[in-house]
Amino acid sequence: MAAIDRRTKVIVMKTCITAMAASIVLVAGVAQAQSYGSGATGQSQIEQLHQALHLAPTQESAWQLYRSAADVPDKAQARRRSASSLFRTLDAPRRMDLVEAEMRQELDDLQRQSHALKAFYGVLSQDQQRIFDARTLPPADNQQDQRPY
């Protein structure tokens, strides 16, 4: 019976770690799409996006809310590093608690980003939405056409 309990615990732990990794990948994808890295012009991608959108003054407050929500991935990475260093020092039940707490925070962060993005997107014109969609699309894994058909 003890072997079954141990095996079950291992399966549960692996499942939780896999779920946490999946949530991290999802958030990383959002972060990649909203990257702050500098481009060839010396401007960050977020600055290039801002410039390309030609926002009206009435759209600037929504832009600022969106931009502050886009900062979440940097904070999440720091939090993940901290949790990762702590992980090996904890017993199994506390590791599970840590994984659970991290997943909840990842979901909260993602929901905050989603709300800010949708609010900002809602104030954009159709032309601005097209620009936004094109500029925030993550690059394909390879440069080949990835159409589903």
Does residue 112 lie in a domain region? yes
The answer to whether position 85 is within a domain reads yes
Q: Quick one: the chain helix, strand, coil %, rounded to 5?
A: 75, 0, 25
Q: Which amino acid is at 55?
A: L
Q: What is the tens place of the pLDDT at every residue in 8-57?
A: 666 666 665 665 555 454 444 444 444 445 555 567 888 999 999 999 99
DSSP assignment letter at 1 = -
User: Would you say residue 129 lies in a domain?
Assistant: yes
| Residue 146 domain-assigned (yes or no) | no
Contact 104, 61 (CB under 8 A): no
144 falls within a domain? no
What pLDDT is stored for residue 70 in this prediction? 79
Which tens digits make up the pLDDT trace of 103-133? 898 899 889 889 999 999 999 999 999 999 9
* 148 within a domain of the structure (yes/no): no
Q: How far apart are CA 126 and CA 130, in angstroms?
A: 6
What is the domain count for the chain? Answer: 1
Task: Provide the residue range defining the domain that includes 21.
Answer: 2-34+45-136
Asked if 56 and 124 count as a contact pair (C-beta separation under 8 A), the reply is: no
